[in-house]
Amino acid sequence: MRLEDHAVAITGAGGGIGRAVALAFAAEGAGVVAADLGERADAVAEEVRRAGGRAVAVRADVSRSADMRALVERSVREFGGLDVLVTCAGLGTAGLLLEQDESEWTRVIDVNLNGTYRAIRAALPQMIARRRGRIITIASVLGKMGGYGFVSAYVASKHGVVGLTRALASELGSQGYPGITVNAICPGYVRAGMGVATQATKAGPMSGTEIFERYYKRLVPQRRMIEAEEIAHAAVFLALPESAGITGQALNVDGGFVTS
Domains of the chain, each with CATH number or no CATH? 7-253 (3.40.50.720)
Beta strands in 117-179 (DSSP E): 133-138
* Residue 235 and residue 86 in contact, taking contact as beta carbons nearer than 8 Å: yes
Q: Give strand pairing partners of 251.
A: 185
Q: Report the pLDDT value the prediction gives residue 193, as an integer from 0 to 100.
A: 59
Strand bridging mode 250-253 / 206-207: unpaired
Nearest-angstrom CA–CA distance, 43 and 91: 20
At residue 232, the 3 state secondary structure works out as helix
What pLDDT is recorded for position 203?
61
Q: Is the dihedral of CA 21, 23, 29, 32 positive or negative?
A: positive
The number of C-alpha atoms within 13 Å of 66 and in the hemisphere containing its C-beta is 0
SS3 240: coil
pLDDT of residue 204: 66
pLDDT of residue 141: 93
pLDDT at 125: 97
* pTM higher than 0.85: yes
Within 8 A by CB and 6+ apart from 213, the residues are none
What is the dihedral angle through the alpha carbons of 101, 105, 108, 114, rounded to the nearest 10 degrees? Answer: -140
Contact 113, 160 (CB under 8 A): yes
84-87: strand order across its sheet = 54-59, 31-36, 7-11, 84-87, 133-138, 180-187, 250-253
Give mean pLDDT in consecutive 10-residue pieces for the chain, a chain of 260 residues.
95 96 98 96 98 97 98 98 97 77 92 98 98 98 80 91 98 97 95 60 69 85 94 98 97 92
Residues annotated as catalytic (active site), given as ranges? 154
